[in-house]
Amino acid sequence: MTGERSDPHSIEEEDLEDFDSWTAQAALASLIDETLSSPEVTRLLARESLRADVVREELFANETLLAKIRTLQDQVMAEGDRGFRPRNRAMSPREAVWLLVALLLGFAYLSLMTAAWSRLPLFFRIFAGMMMPCVLFATGALAVRKVTSLREWINPDAMQFHEEQFGLGPRRSFAAREIVLPEVRDVISAHRKLHFGTTLVFEQQYDLGEEDSTRIVPTAAAKRIRRVLERAGSGAVALGGQRGSGKTTAIRSMQRGLLHGSENPAPLVVVASAPATYDARDFVLHLHKLLCQAVLERIRQTVGPEQGWHWWARRFWRGTADLLASAVLAWAVGGALWNGKFTRFPVELWRTVSQVRFPELLGPLWTGQPVHNRIALVVVALLAVRWAGKLLASAIGAVVLFLRHQSTAGPRALRTEARRQLLRIQYLLTYTTGWSGKLAVPAGGELGRTRTTQRAEQQLTHPEVVDEFRAFAQLTAESLREEGITDRVVVAIDELDKIGEQDKAQQLVNDIKGIFGVPGCLYFVAVSDDAVLSFEQRGLAVRDAFDSAFSEVVRLEPFTLDESRLWIAQRLPGVPEQFCYLGHCLSGGLPRDLRRTTIDMVDVTIEHYEPSLSTVTGILVRADLAAKTAGFIGQARSLAQTPELIELWPKLLRIPDLREAVELAELAAELHEGATPDLADAVNRLRLHSSAFVLFCATVLDVFTDALAKPRLTPDLHELAVARRHLALDPHLAWAALTDFRKARDLPLPARR
């Protein structure tokens, strides 16, 4: 079936009626086969003991995947030769040396055969003729294997059939990497081998202590950010979501190119953290400085570091010192071994070498010399060959650097401008000019005049700073695109949601939104949930700074149950599913808390060998109770001592002393007694928060015991994670969700003794 789809010679009559559909199916079949045969996917299939045929058939049945291929084919047809073309990678000096070595080997073999052909017997002529194609093929294979640019020129896109038969053109590699490969990973993840048990064991751990991990869970928000990066050439996008939902991780992933969604080079990403107290002018200058530094770093990575006269001077003196050391070594060893005086060795050596006539080499240099002379000749020959190779490599490197210098005029001009802008930002330029003169008059008098003018560049105003930033950002985007380095610039402003007052956050956006809208520049700003809410109210009679600044908003939601399980399984291969469910419920699905909870679970294994589920749950819950109790007590101390608070005090102090789920449930009922939905009353709010949290801990202890078998791992456990998230938003709603969950699980409802 696969062969019929991917073989262009197997076109049936009904296929001709819808040739576009057949082309899309053939392209998809070829891309799937190519992706499944890649080393990465082969390792994943072997690890999960999954057959490639299962993945292939499921992908063929995915109509969404086929629609993406057809859409890409339409885009390729519409674009034609237009669009961004990445900069060709320049040949390195090392590759140029290998190319020259391959050419010299072939040329040397042909030269030797030409010179010695007339003296060779018939048998050797036949043998040499048969060996000639082999030598030429070997030298060509050496050049292709060592020189990447030559290999790409010969075979620009390794594929089974021609590009015209699939309609993907130069975007085939993008289709395989960004369309088919993620779907293959999703299918393998859906069919991954699950482990069940109530003992905490795992094979090993990956990237738990690293926030910048390449193991990204393909959430809906991540996929949308990919689409935004692919389609949007400019504009401002708000990244919303509650604290800990992964906004910073998404920005860092963009910076590292992990969310890049096209075949073009990763965008130039500038990341800045919003200050708690700010001056709009200083913040724009800070962005300008970061952009200059990012431009310099990207150009350095693309065209290499700038080699000034200091570099050439160091290289010259090192080479000269090396040459003198080699000459001294050759004279010392050769003079000590040569048959003659030490001081006469260079003259004797030159006289011996000058007597050599090609092709007779062995007689004068080897057979006609004593043993100690031969050793001296070998040492000198090795040093001479070494230096001949170094001089040849230096010459080739100089030619390559000259050609590269000629082809990088645009990036070098941008680098010069970035340095000028950076210097202007960091320092205040001062120029001093002046003139003086003296005129002598009769009777011994003098007339003189001196004038000095000092000009200091005044600080730019905020509008001027914004204009300077916009001009440089547009110049950067245009230059990088023209030179094929990248097709866009991304400026990400993180931690704006950490500004406590919504008015201050809106004022910051209002002050800096003048830098938005630069062609070729895309802006991402991490905002709070209140900002997202105000954006979603657009169209109503409400319009604020966020609504007028952002073109769209991407909300990062907490992990679903399956996403949390996948996140933990990626970092703890072989971990039982019971502990994945536990981590999701304790963290509420928030990525930041999920990392902390997983690290705490792993830390338990340091003091307990293969701990049980009940042991791990008890340790984590008791630690959470102790931390939250300290917060409740600190909050109570800041309140006025009313009769209601005095009655609540002893109950709060009992929280960390309880260990059993039944005792915690009873205490939760006592804490909740007399509570009302009114969150304006501080004591009532403390009563609701503490009772709901204690009931949550009791419910976790009731559920995650050593008796939790595979049939009890049902999707309704996600309600515990939802209740955990409600604790920070509406404790009354969290209490209702927990009581409903306990009813559904046949757990006793909280009641006082």
Per-residue pLDDT of 616-644, as tens digits, reads 999 999 999 999 999 888 888 888 888 88
> In angstroms, what CA-CA distances link 129 with 114, 119, 533?
11, 14, 81
Maximum mean pLDDT: which of 24-28, 103-107, 589-593: 589-593
Average pLDDT over residues 591-602: 92
Q: Which of 81-85, 182-186, 649-653 has the lowest mean pLDDT?
A: 81-85
Give a yes or no: residue 332 inside a domain.
yes
- By DSSP bridging, strand 552-555 and strand 430-440 are unpaired
| Residue 1 pLDDT greater than 50, yes or no | no
Residue 231: give the domain boundaries.
220-305+463-555
652 and 697 belong to one structural domain? yes
Average pLDDT over residues 67-81: 76
How far is residue 19's CA from residue 11's CA, in Å, rounded to a whole number?
9
Task: Using the 3D structure, point to which of 555, 583, 603 is the last residue of a domain.
Answer: 555
Give a yes or no: residue 575 inside a domain.
yes
How far is residue 161's CA from residue 170's CA, in Å, rounded to a whole number?
13
Residue 453 has φ and ψ, to the nearest 5°, of -120, 125
Maximum mean pLDDT: which of 102-111, 297-306, 483-492: 483-492
Beta strands in 562-700 (DSSP E): none
How far is residue 272's CA from residue 468's CA, in Å, rounded to a whole number?
18
What pLDDT score was predicted for residue 690? 92
Q: How far is CA 151 from the centre of its chain?
A: 27
| Residue 199 pLDDT greater than 90, yes or no | yes
What pLDDT score was predicted for residue 361? 56
Question: What is the number of residues in the chain?
Answer: 753
Q: How far is CA 710 from the centre of its chain?
A: 37
Most distant CA atoms of the chain, gap in Å = 121
| Residue 753 pLDDT greater than 70, yes or no | no
245 and 373 belong to one structural domain? no
The larger pLDDT score, comparing residue 471 to residue 44, is at: 471
* Helices 561-571 + 577-587 axis angle, to 10: 120
The pair of three-digit structure tokens given for residue 449, joined into one six-digit string? 């005049």
3-state secondary structure of 403: helix
Average pLDDT over residues 40-59: 87
Residue 276 has φ and ψ, to the nearest 5°, of -65, -45
Nearest to 475 by CA among 420, 512, 428: 420
3-state secondary structure of 574: coil
Give a yes or no: residue 440 inside a domain.
no
Q: DSSP labels for 161-227? A: S-GGGTT-GGGHHHIIIIIIHHHHHHHHHHTPPP---SB---S---SSS-SS-S-----HHHHHHHH
| Residue 90 pLDDT greater than 60, yes or no | no
Give the model confidence (pLDDT) of 281-304 as tens digits. Answer: 888 888 999 999 999 998 888 777
The C-alpha angle with vertex 181 and arms to 180 and 184, in degrees rounded to 5, equals: 90
| Residue 423 pLDDT greater than 80, yes or no | yes
572 and 710 belong to one structural domain? yes
For residue 521, the cross-strand partners are: 489
What pLDDT score was predicted for residue 587? 93
| Residue 394 pLDDT greater than 60, yes or no | yes
Average pLDDT over residues 80-99: 60
258 and 298 belong to one structural domain? yes
Q: What is the CATH number of the domain that holds 493?
A: 3.40.50.300
632 and 589 belong to one structural domain? yes
Give the model confidence (pLDDT) of 336-347 as tens digits. Answer: 777 666 777 777
How far is residue 672's CA from residue 675's CA, in Å, rounded to a whole number?
5
CA dihedral 119, 125, 128, 129 (to 10 degrees): 130
Q: Which of 279-283, 350-354, 441-445, 521-525 has the lowest mean pLDDT?
A: 441-445
Q: How confident is the model at residue 242 (pLDDT cuts 50, 70, 90)?
A: confident
The C-alpha angle with vertex 354 and arms to 348 and 356, in degrees rounded to 5, equals: 115
Other CB atoms within 10 A of residue 662 CB = 13
Sheet holding 521-526, edge to edge: 268-273, 489-494, 521-526, 235-240, 552-555
Give a yes or no: residue 281 inside a domain.
yes
How far is residue 255's CA from residue 273's CA, in Å, rounded to a whole number?
14
What pLDDT score was predicted for residue 752? 57
How far is residue 617's CA from residue 704's CA, in Å, rounded to a whole number?
7
Rg (CA), the chain: 37
How far is residue 529's CA from residue 541's CA, in Å, rounded to a whole number?
20
Q: Which of 26-35, 458-467, 728-737 has the lowest mean pLDDT?
A: 458-467
What pLDDT score was predicted for residue 698? 94
Q: How far is CA 492 from the centre of its chain?
A: 14
Residue at token pair 């594929």: 159
Average pLDDT over residues 704-717: 92
Give the model confidence (pLDDT) of 261-277 as tens digits. Answer: 556 677 889 998 887 77
335 and 301 belong to one structural domain? no
The larger pLDDT score, comparing residue 538 to residue 326, is at: 326
What pLDDT score was predicted for residue 739? 93
Residues in CB range of 478: below 8 A, 6 or more apart? 519, 520
636 and 508 belong to one structural domain? no
Q: Are 705 and 698 in contact (CB under 8 A)?
A: no
What pLDDT score was predicted for residue 429? 40
569 and 584 belong to one structural domain? yes
Q: Are 431 and 253 in contact (CB under 8 A)?
A: no
Q: What's the chain's average pLDDT?
A: 78
How far is residue 469's CA from residue 517's CA, in Å, rounded to a whole number?
12
Structural domain count of the chain: 5
| Residue 542 pLDDT greater than 50, yes or no | no
Amino acid identity, position 742: R
57 and 168 belong to one structural domain? yes
Nearest to 24 by CA among 49, 6, 43, 3: 6
Beta strands in 337-380 (DSSP E): none
| Residue 540 pLDDT greater than 50, yes or no | no
Average pLDDT over residues 355-382: 69
Residues in CB range of 545: below 8 A, 6 or more apart? 506, 507, 509, 510, 513
What pLDDT score was predicted for residue 21? 77
| Residue 148 pLDDT greater than 80, yes or no | no
| Residue 80 pLDDT greater than 90, yes or no | no
163 and 17 belong to one structural domain? yes
Give a yes or no: residue 519 inside a domain.
yes
Task: Using the 3D structure, point to which of 383, 407, 431 is the last residue of a domain.
Answer: 407
Buried/exposed code over 630-652 (b: 16+ C-beta within 10 A; e: otherwise): eebbebbeeeeeeeebeebeebb
What pLDDT score was predicted for residue 366? 65
Q: Are 631 and 655 in contact (CB under 8 A)?
A: no
Residues in CB range of 464: below 8 A, 6 or more apart? none
| Residue 449 pLDDT greater than 60, yes or no | no
Q: How confident is the model at residue 313 (pLDDT cuts 50, 70, 90)?
A: confident
What pLDDT score was predicted for residue 263? 60
Give a yes or no: residue 431 inside a domain.
no
626 and 727 belong to one structural domain? yes
Give a yes or no: residue 638 inside a domain.
yes
Average pLDDT over residues 209-224: 75
3-state secondary structure of 665: helix
For residue 555, the cross-strand partners are: 240
Maximum mean pLDDT: which of 446-455, 539-548, 577-586, 668-677: 577-586
Against a cut of 0.75, is the pTM above it?
Answer: no
How far is residue 286's CA from residue 466's CA, in Å, rounded to a whole number?
11
| Residue 505 pLDDT greater than 90, yes or no | no
How far is residue 245's CA from residue 597's CA, in Å, rounded to a whole number?
15
| Residue 522 pLDDT greater than 60, yes or no | yes
Give a yes or no: residue 113 inside a domain.
yes
| Residue 91 pLDDT greater than 60, yes or no | no
Q: How confident is the model at residue 333 (pLDDT cuts 50, 70, 90)?
A: confident
| Residue 598 pLDDT greater than 90, yes or no | yes
367 and 323 belong to one structural domain? yes
Buried/exposed code over 525-553 (b: 16+ C-beta within 10 A; e: otherwise): bbbbeebbebbeeeeeeeebbbbebbeeb
Task: Using the 3D structure, point to which of 392, 407, 422 is the last residue of a domain.
Answer: 407
